[in-house]
Amino acid sequence: MDNATLISDAELNVAPTYGRYPIALVRGEGCRVWDADGKEYLDFVSGLAVCNLGHCHPGVVSAIREQAGKLIHVSNLYHIEPQIDLAKKLNRLSFGDKAFFCNSGTEAVEAALKLARKYSFQKYGEGRHEILSFDMSFHGRTMASLTATGQAKFHGAFKPLLPGFRYMPFGDVESVAASVSEQTCAIMVEPIQGEGGVNVPPDGYLKGLREICDANDLLLLFDEVQVGLGRTGKLWAYEHEGVAPDAMSLAKALAGGTAIGALVASDKAMAFEPGDHAATFGGNPLATAAGCAAVDAITAPGFLEHVQEMGAYANAGLEELAKRHAIIKDIRGKGLIIGCEVDVDATSIVTKGLEAGFLLNVAVQKVIRLIPPLVVEKEMIDKLMNFLDEALADLAK
């Protein structure tokens, strides 16, 4: 079927929860995808930071093929071999001691929020349930993670939200220190805000939050759903600051494109007991087998160095453009999550990109967010910079 047929069928049958662009993508390989009319695109979106290994990474594909022929699902009432393997890998590679598995980012965040309340309840009893999160954060769409999300535009029609959440200005340790009360049990933060516009906090910020948590026995919860798994040039974004959380939520890139979520926690924080929390599909053999293959590929020698090198290269390309394009106000990010903020509405650049054969993304209307597959190559970045050179000139008109 071609784009036009698929689009009209979608309009008739698929819930309109996204403002979708007028193409249907049907095939992918590495950093390239093809639409139903056979047109090729260079992907700088990665399915929103999911396809860190590029599309159809051979290691992930063969792990899925093999596992699908062996065992796709069994209940968590039984032990699951690939789930145990993935938990071991995540714990070995992070601060973590125990991993809980679910199926998406929002579920991983929900698990973190419930864990914080359980930890506090067990130790201090009722009433110490408040979670501090941040302006411009994004934590997901189900009710608790939606409440934790500090952006009013997502809350609109869905009130009342959950009680026990407060939003702090992002990047300011002092305001958090001043706001912790006897009811506070946790701080939830993205080490770099993704959906909120690629906002990088000042150096020492996470360390400051760690100190506040230690002084008050709060759980420090890092939402690494978008920036984890190599996106910033380190395996975990928190490594840039040399501080560890008590628990972190993961999802997007964890299983090479298959649906998965995880909450990794220290033994101290892992307050869940049988019956406290669960997910039917969580940690199923198929997703966790894919996860093992994805984690192996991301931690293979040289992989993260490539991310750092390409990140620096793309950043330098944008800095070069900024010399010629006065509408560029800021370039920020780490590794291969880069925000290029302009002082006009940039959303039209996505449509222009599609015409020119690029998948692009704009966050909060003014930030061109580059989140390519981490296997992106210099010549692809060069092509994008050439396109942006023209597109930014048009945008300024």
Task: Give the H/E segment covering residue 99.
Answer: strand 98-102
Q: By the 8 A CB rule, do 35 and 23 touch?
A: yes
Cβ proximity to ligand PLP: between 106 and 147 the closer is 106
Residues 313-342 that bind ligand PLP (CB under 6 A): none
Amino acid of residue 91: N
CB-closest chain residue to ligand PLP: 105
**Is the Cβ of residue 52 or residue 328 nearer to ligand PLP in the bound state?**
52
Token pair, residue 179, equals: 């706001």
Q: How far is the CB of 223 from ligand PLP (least distance, A)?
A: 4
To ligand PLP, the closest distance from the beta carbon of 259 in angstroms equals 8
Distance (Å, whole) CA 131 – CA 218: 9
| Residue 272 structure tokens | 């869940």
Q: Cα–Cα distance between 201 and 193 in angstroms, integer? A: 9
Q: Give the DSSP H or E segment for 341.
A: strand 337-342
Number of residues that bind ligand PLP (CB under 6 A): 15
| Structure-token match 């048009």, residue found | 394
Residue placing its CB nearer to ligand PLP in the complex, 130 or 190: 190
Question: At a CB cut-off of 8 Å and minimum separation 6, what does 26 contact?
Answer: 34, 35, 36
- Under 8 Å between Cβ of 148 and 109: yes
Q: Tell which one of 112, 176, 225, 237 touches ligand PLP (CB under 6 A).
A: 225
Q: How far is the CB of 103 from ligand PLP (least distance, A)?
A: 8
- Give 52 or 104: the residue with its C-beta nearer to ligand PLP: 104
- Of 202, 218, 197, residue with least CA distance to 151: 197
Nearest to 341 by CA among 200, 169, 168: 200
By CB under 6 A, residue 104 contacts ligand PLP: yes
When the beta carbons of 105 and 197 are compared against ligand PLP, the nearer one is 105
Q: Containing H/E element for 27? A: strand 25-29
Enumerate residues 227-286 that contact ligand PLP by CB under 6 A.
251-252
Closest alpha carbon to 96 in 284, 224, 250, 248: 248
Q: Give the list of residues 6+ apart from residue 70 with CB closer than 8 angstroms, or none.
A: 285
State the minimum distance, in angstroms, from the CB of residue 8 to ligand PLP: 27
Q: What single string gives the DSSP state of each residue in 222-253?
A: EE-TTTTTTTTSSSSGGGGGT---SEEEE-GG
From 3-11, 118-126, 133-141, 303-311, give the range in contact with ligand PLP by CB under 6 A: 133-141
| Only segment of 137-145, 238-246, 293-301, 369-377 that touches ligand PLP (CB under 6 A) | 137-145
Which of 94, 133, 226, 284 binds ligand PLP (CB under 6 A)? It is: 226
DSSP state, residue 362: E
Nearer to ligand PLP, 106 or 232 (CB): 106
Sequence-distant (6+) residues with CB within 8 A of 80 are: 74, 283, 284, 285, 288
- Binding flag, residue 43, ligand PLP (CB under 6 A): no
Residue number with CB closer to ligand PLP (338 or 395): 338
Kindly state whether residue 55 participates in binding ligand PLP, applying the rule CB under 6 A. no
Site stretch for ligand PLP (CB under 6 A), options 53-61, 102-110, 291-299, 325-333: 102-110
CA separation for the pair 47, 41 (Å, rounded): 13
Residues between 288 and 317 with contacts to ligand PLP, criterion CB under 6 A: none
Distance CA 93, CA 85 (A): 12
| 151 in contact with ligand PLP (CB under 6 A) | no
Binding mask 184-223 for ligand PLP (x = CB under 6 A): ------x---xx---------------------------x
109 binds ligand PLP per the rule CB under 6 A: yes
Q: Give the interface segment with ligand PLP, choosing from 135-143, 162-170, 273-281, 382-390 (CB under 6 A).
A: 135-143
Footprint on this chain of ligand PLP (rule: CB under 6 A): 104-106, 109, 138-140, 190, 194-195, 223, 225-226, 251-252
